[in-house]
Structure 1
Amino acid sequence: MVEADPYNHAVARFRDALVPDTPVKVSDMSLPLISRAVTKARRDFTAARYAGLADDLAGLVPVARTACDPAGHALAAQVYHLAARTLIKLSAPPYAWVAAHQAEQSAVASGDLCAIADARRDLVSLFHRAADYGKARDLAARAADTLRPELPGAGPAAWGAYGALMSTGAIAAARLEDRASALSMLEEAEMASSRAPRLVLSAGHVVTYRIGVSIILGDAGTAIEHARRVAPDEIPTVERRAGYYTGVAEAYTLWGKTDRAVRALLIAEKIAPAEVRRPNSRRVIEDLLHRDPHSNLSGLRALARRVSVTL
């Protein structure tokens, strides 16, 4: 049995910031101050510090709501985008939908290519999590058709956002067993990674999505082959590095190599405990326990207790 998510307080703060019951007094913040706060928030996200990040972003949401020019809307879109991504990590999709909708509105108002790609990626992620895989795949494909002609003159951040959008779309395509679209999107993501800031989208980031696509398509061996193509230390963000190890753990579980799966999960927990508390990782732990309810695998039962998974 997987117990309830532990981040209720952070989610409640987000909820009240996104949909306040009463008018919220907003402190004056200049664009440079907001920009610095957003940069810090992005660093916290890549470091998988989700609970503290939720508090910081909840404080920025009322400020984002006051945006009134393209530069302000672009920053607001970043706030809402990070809010949506964090709420997804905190397993709170209803509020993530609210943030994603506001990110989309702000992005369109800003005209910023990076903001638009980020907002579309949030929607693709949420449709995927709602099991509407066709909508998620098609939205990613249409967004790519719109954004692709603008990319040659775009900056590195836009390339990174585009590659992340394609990576997420590939996962949805794989759910539909649309191997051709999934692999094509991953190729585009890999191409974009060569033009993107390394912290936003590196080749190592894309490998984590290749692992995920292979697992969904039922090819655990190929997932492990992809994992061996990159040294985990070359993946520059804690969030994606932990995702690499949880993906490896899932592949080894499907492959029946449970001892290696447990080792990968323990490494992921050491890197980013919050990632191992997420639903997919907890399902892998539950699967491992079901496969061998009397398991003596080193560390598995203790790990299960730490992340509130019981049989």
Structure 2
Amino acid sequence: MTVDGELLRARREHEGLSRAVLGGLVARSEDWVKKVERGERTVRSLAMIVRLARVLGCRDVAELTRAEVSVPIVDGGRVSHPGVAALRSAVHAPLFAAAGTPEDVGELAGRVRQAWDVWHRARDQRTAVATVLPGLIAAGHATVRAAEGAEKRRAAVILSETYALAQQYAAHIVEPELYWVIVDRARMAAEQADDPVALASAAWIMGNGLRVAGHTEEALRMVADAADTLRPQLEGGSDRLRGTFGSLCLHAAVTAAQDGRDGDAWRWHGEADRTAANLGAAYAHPWTMFGTGNVTVHAVTIGADLRTPGIAMQQLADTDPAAIPSLERRSRLFLDAAKAEHIRREKASALQYLRLAYETSPEAARYVPSGRALAADLARTATGALSYTARQLADDIGIAA
């Protein structure tokens, strides 16, 4: 699926937008728009196609692609969370004020690991970590300031991991400015730590932000470069290093899939699969959850993002959801299955999987835009007996059907 230049130009002119204005709205240049319209540049990224369609007021990406496959543009709406205000205050607190008390680095590391564990094991993960995140951020900064030498660098690693958790919490529910401050703080702490694995982990975090913003090329380059940095150290490397490498491979795989690069997507996924196998079935990265179970989740994601629903559902058939330790990741598995079935216009099955996603983790379904958009579209288009079920599910997720 690619953007049709003639359709893009016609739609842009219909909306009364100049190339410069349209480019600005999707964070691209006037020349970029010009080349797309003239067929000199191909846009395969579904995220960017959706972004263009939304900016231009399209109801479906087919209005820009001539594709037979329907991808409705339904904005489920961003919803916030009660804990955002406290997080915002913690992030914007004066860095040199006595807002936090220094802690033993080992004890602080244990508290951050526990918070990550809660994130993955709670059905309502945002609510579960919202009460501890502000304090962890304050304590993290205070501990870094008070520590010296190797302990200071270790504390900086812990602070970066704290901001990584804050990013997961903040995704889709805060204003972009706050989100990017959090992402940049994670990067800055990793640089202060002078730790190659921490820096690679920060690339994973930065890549998340770039991908969500539609900058798939930049996101892929960032995580691929980080993976290439770690690759020479894989043999004999620590589980932390290899788990981070595998996490970067999965990130690259999904990013490539969203950009329509099927060969690259499955190549990166294959490398992640081999890494997970070498780590063993019992291994799971403490915060990305990289491991054999997470590799299977991403196979379904890749199939759905490449708009090959048959492959996605085949991957799902080979997956044991109970083997996925993270409820947030398990919910994502069911959400991607719902998206795949929606592509095939199997609305009853899509509803079933979306209900499973919600029941596995209500907040994972409620706060993810694709989950809200899918619920809204099913509530709008389902007919007959399915209509009531779809409206009820949309209401549960928080969509006005």
- TM norm. shorter chain > 0.5: yes
Whether 1:20 aligns to 2:103 is no
Deviation sequence 1:124-172 (CA, Å, 0-9, x none): 1100010011101111111111111122232212222221222122222
Distance in 2 (alpha carbons) for counterparts of 1:89 and 1:45: 16
Q: Which AA in structure 2 matches 1:206?
A: V
What residue in structure 2 maps to residue 35 of structure 1? 109
Deviation sequence 1:30-88 (CA, Å, 0-9, x none): 11221121111111221251123133111111222231422111111111111112212
Q: Which AA in structure 1 matches 2:284?
A: R
What is the CA distance between 1:304 and its match in structure 2? 0.6
Distance in 2 (alpha carbons) for counterparts of 1:271 and 1:92: 27
**2:299 equivalent among 204, 207, 210:** 210
Q: Which AA in structure 2 matches 1:2?
A: G
Distance in 1 (alpha carbons) for counterparts of 2:174 and 2:269: 25
What residue in structure 1 maps to residue 390 of structure 2? 300
Deviation sequence 1:202-258 (CA, Å, 0-9, x none): 222112212122112110111001111111111121111111111111111111111
Task: Call closer, same or farther: CA 1:238–1:93 in 2, change over 3 Å.
Answer: farther
Q: What SS is found at the alignment partner of 2:235?
A: helix
8 A contact 2:88–2:178 mirrored in 1: yes
Deviation sequence 1:76-120 (CA, Å, 0-9, x none): 111111111221264554323222212112223223344223211
What residue in structure 1 maps to residue 198 of structure 2? 115
What residue in structure 2 maps to residue 198 of structure 1? 284
Whether 1:144 aligns to 2:227 is yes
Q: Which AA in structure 1 matches 2:390?
A: L
Whether 1:62 aligns to 2:62 is no
Distance in 1 (alpha carbons) for counterparts of 2:350 and 2:272: 27
What residue in structure 1 maps to residue 129 of structure 2? 53
Distance in 2 (alpha carbons) for counterparts of 1:216 and 1:248: 11
Q: Which moved more, 1:34-43 or 1:12-21?
A: 12-21
Distance in 2 (alpha carbons) for counterparts of 1:207 and 1:3: 29
Distance in 2 (alpha carbons) for counterparts of 1:38 and 1:163: 22
Q: Which AA in structure 2 matches 1:44?
A: V
8 A contact 2:78–2:173 mirrored in 1: no
Q: What SS is found at the alignment partner of 1:153?
A: coil
Q: Which AA in structure 2 matches 1:190?
A: D
1:149-160 alignment to 2 at 5 Å? Answer: 149-160=232-243
8 A contact 1:223–1:251 mirrored in 2: yes
Q: Which AA in structure 2 matches 1:177?
A: G
Higher helix share: 1
8 A contact 1:285–1:304 mirrored in 2: yes
Q: Which AA in structure 2 matches 1:53?
A: V
Distance in 1 (alpha carbons) for counterparts of 2:274 and 2:238: 14
What residue in structure 2 maps to residue 230 of structure 1? 319
Deviation sequence 1:251-271 (CA, Å, 0-9, x none): 111111111111112122121
Distance in 2 (alpha carbons) for counterparts of 1:59 and 1:25: 9
8 A contact 1:121–1:168 mirrored in 2: yes
Distance in 2 (alpha carbons) for counterparts of 1:233 and 1:209: 15
Task: Call closer, same or farther: CA 1:207–1:84 in 2, change over 3 Å.
Answer: same
What residue in structure 1 maps to residue 44 of structure 2? none
8 A contact 1:14–1:55 mirrored in 2: no
1:58-137 alignment to 2 at 5 Å? Answer: 58-66=134-142, 67=144, 68=147, 69-88=152-171, 90=173, 92-137=175-220
When normalised by structure 2's length, the TM-score is: 0.72
Task: Call closer, same or farther: CA 1:21–1:29 in 2, change over 3 Å.
Answer: closer
Q: What SS is found at the alignment partner of 2:400?
A: coil
**1:11 equivalent among 62, 80, 84:** 84
Q: Which runs of 5+ in 1 are unaligned?
A: none
**1:175 equivalent among 238, 248, 258:** 258
8 A contact 1:114–1:159 mirrored in 2: no
Q: What SS is found at the alignment partner of 1:154?
A: coil
Q: Which moved more, 1:183-192 or 1:23-32?
A: 23-32
When normalised by structure 1's length, the TM-score is: 0.92
